[in-house]
Amino acid sequence: VHHMMNGQLVKGEKNVSDFDKLMKEQDSIYRKQDILMNFTSNHDENAWHGTEYERLGDGAEAFAALTYALPGMPLIYNGQEYDFDKRLKFLKKIHSPHNK
């Protein structure tokens, strides 16, 4: 799902029908008890391909919402809960600029 969201859907190469087909394929491959991770970013994507805002543009928030609506579990990458929009060096430790 991640690769379709971050590439083909954003670029207009795929559409909602293609996404629906992918979801049906996943339903036939995975068992009900399998928990898939849904995400817009992770340490690899952020370091090598940019933030979700760089990759998804104006669709970043809509795709983030989709990760919660899809079957499975949303993965929140470092700082996404604070709308952190900086590209990070691969596996470099940072401190969040926000405090709770």
The residue ranking higher by pLDDT, 43 or 23, is 23
Find the distance separating the first CA and the last CA of the chain, reported in whole Å: 32
pLDDT greater than 70 at residue 29: yes
pLDDT digits (tens, 9 = 90+) for 43-99: 888 888 888 999 888 889 999 999 999 999 999 887 788 777 777 776 666 666 665
Query: Mean of the pLDDT values across residues 10-30?
Result: 90
pLDDT greater than 60 at residue 100: no
